[in-house]
Structure 1
Amino acid sequence: MFCTCLCLVLAVSGGVATTTAPSLADKHNALGFRVFAHLASADRNLVFSPHGLSAVLSMAQLGAAGTTDEAMKRVMGFSLRERGASRQHRRMRRQLRAEEALRTAGAVAVERTMSVEKAYRRALSRAFGSHPLQVDFGRPERAAEVLNAWVADHTAGAVPELLAPGSLSDETRLVLLDALHFRGLWKVPFDPRLTHRGLFRGANGSATPVAMMTLTGRFNYGEFSTAGGEDYDVVELPYRGDTLSMFLASPFEADTPLSALAADLSGRGTPEWTSRLGSVRRQLSVPRFAVDSELRLKTALTDAGLANIFNVATADFSRIAAHERLCVSDVLQTVKFEVDERGTEGAAATAAITYSRMAVEELTLDGPFLFFVQHKPTGAILFMGQFNHPT
């Protein structure tokens, strides 16, 4: 079970390789890789939802104007106000909703005394199918309870509290929510009787006993080299239905940092490296693993070029509300991710708070690796992460 809940909160500020054009999903993924590169460090586990981050930023970008709009388009690589973009975005979301394993939802909570521009309402409806719901942010704790109930409902209870006490204030004006719930079962499950104890070589040099799952069969597999000459391989594990897959990338050499692989995969773009995988027969061993992350994304987004949206002096979201000075204070994300013999379970929540190897018969992932969950028809990466050591 994957669950992702995405939230953007706006409040009034105090005081004054191929020739084919990249798809919208490719641009979402590219932004995700850039942010991932800022978040990743050599010796920690990490997971986050690039799809979710793009969703909340897209909602905000629909209301951006002036230099804020320009900065967001430059960093995100797209604008949903461009001709045909909303239609493409709506089509991508419709394809995700068509998946039996996926459930998506969106909501826009607006301070009941605030007047929202009609053009913004129309843009939200076209791109997200969302319509504003009135909320009394003058009672911030009660408003948080209402929104947390929506979150819990659309994540099957996996994220019971996205907004902690104190997350909202009487200056809050708008909360944009996007939720994704996914329950993924492997197309071919691992046999629990074959799970055995093995040693995982952590990025910090540790050797930790883990439960190593084993599956023999044909896998889509490929070998790559980074620009710096580091060799690594990628293997695909499909979920039931063949439209969703997990991709695992691991370096040949133990001293190769995962950041080198992430940078190479980001530069190639997912269409290139997934298209270069070929069917091979392997005995795959991969540990059961779980990764939990609580992320503050403001610094990563600022470093990526979005300082404008966090600065009360420069942020311009006048297309949302012409008479309110709005700016973003932070973007938060909490993700829980677990892999076992049957499939994958996970939960993620994002809140943006705003004020006005070599080919061998055995393939054993007993060292650090990257992982990605991708919706193959659209190419959208729902989750990406790195596993450096067992916990």
Structure 2
Amino acid sequence: MQVQDFLLRSQGDVGNSSHGVRLRQACVLFVQSGVQLLPVFTQLAAALGNSSLVRANFTQPNHSRSQLQQWGLNHGTGEPLQSGGSGELFGSGEAQEEALWWGQRLQMALVNTVNFRGVWQKQFLFTDTQNLPFTLSDGSTIKVPMMHQATEVNFGQFRTSSDQRYTVLELPYLGRSLSLLVALPSDRKTPLSSLESQLTPRAVATWDTGLRRTKMDVFLPR
């Protein structure tokens, strides 16, 4: 039942492409070659996933990767899926042994893709882009092209359950049906990873009532 619910939620389009915003989701169920499936399972999975089941050989990671990339091209993303850090389906370099280990045990893989294209409600002008410092996860700083605009946005300050302070900024896309929410630790020396681990669904749900219209300068990496 959990697989059925996931497949039902993970298909179709969200947003309005006529407004310049489109969020397309698709999913596929890869099944190891030789695994026997009940006909009723095959029919239900294909119907719920809005796609046929795809047979794969997980013991050959490179072949599985090619299948995934081709599926990404054919199902709405417009570009091949990129290799990730998971060893289940991809094998290269240090991940090769892990991929082979998983390939000998993996029987099914449910893959979900999300393709998003949007236009800002208020555009960032290219002429306002500046090369400014950006802090990496290891604490070092580099200069990157930063988009900039002086505007009025929804902005709020919050605390995690461990009393860590952070800020949230909302930038709507055209039509305001979807928005980008940016969360950053208030203390610049605090790594983003420490905040990510504490962002629970309950915490995110409080953002709607905690954001206020504020005039400010917004800088984002281009």
TM-score normalised over the length of structure 2: 0.70
2:177 is matched with which residue? 243
- Give the drift of 1:181: 1.7
CA contact (8 A) 1:265 1:273 kept: no
1:77-116 maps to which residues of 2 (within 5 A)?
79-80=2-3, 86=5, 90=8, 92-93=9-10, 97-99=13-15, 100=17, 101-111=22-32, 113-116=34-37
Q: Does 1:151 align with 2:72?
A: yes
Letter of the 1:159 partner, please give it.
L
**Offset from partner CA, 1:256-285 (integer Å, 9 cap, x none):** 343443344316332222332122222212
- Give the drift of 1:97: 1.4
Computed over aligned residues only, the root mean square deviation of the Cα atoms, in angstroms, reads 3.5
Indicate how the Cα distance of structure 1 residues 178 and 201 shifts in structure 2: closer, same or farther if over 3 A, else same.
closer
Indicate how the Cα distance of structure 1 residues 123 and 232 shifts in structure 2: closer, same or farther if over 3 A, else same.
same
CA contact (8 A) 2:151 2:216 kept: yes
1:367-378 maps to which residues of 2 (within 5 A)?
none
Indicate how the Cα distance of structure 1 residues 204 and 123 shifts in structure 2: closer, same or farther if over 3 A, else same.
same
1:129 is matched with which residue? 50
Letter of the 1:105 partner, please give it.
A
Letter of the 1:103 partner, please give it.
R
1:325-344 maps to which residues of 2 (within 5 A)?
340=222
Distance in 2 between the 1:171 and 1:221 partners? 47
- Give the drift of 1:215: 0.9
1:273 is matched with which residue? 207
Q: Which runs of 5+ in 2 are unaligned?
A: 84-88
Q: Does 1:222 align with 2:222?
A: no
Which of 129, 144, 154 lines up with 1:210 in the alignment? 144
TM-score normalised over the length of structure 1: 0.43
CA contact (8 A) 1:148 1:163 kept: no
Q: How many residues in Structure 1 have an aligned counterpart in Structure 2? A: 203
Aligned residue for 2:151, secondary structure, equals strand
CA contact (8 A) 1:80 1:127 kept: no
Letter of the 2:57 partner, please give it.
F
1:256 is matched with which residue? 190
Aligned residue for 1:219, secondary structure, equals strand
2:86 is matched with which residue? none
- Give the drift of 1:230: 3.0
CA contact (8 A) 1:137 1:170 kept: no
Q: Which has the higher contact order (CA 8 A, sep 6+)?
A: 1
- Give the drift of 1:131: 3.4
**Offset from partner CA, 1:197-221 (integer Å, 9 cap, x none):** 3233556453433323211222111
- Give the drift of 1:171: 7.3
Aligned residue for 1:121, secondary structure, equals helix
Aligned residue for 1:269, secondary structure, equals helix
Q: Which runs of 5+ in 1 are unaligned?
A: 1-61, 63-78, 289-339, 341-391
1:351 is matched with which residue? none
Indicate how the Cα distance of structure 1 residues 234 and 206 shifts in structure 2: closer, same or farther if over 3 A, else same.
same
Letter of the 1:97 partner, please give it.
D
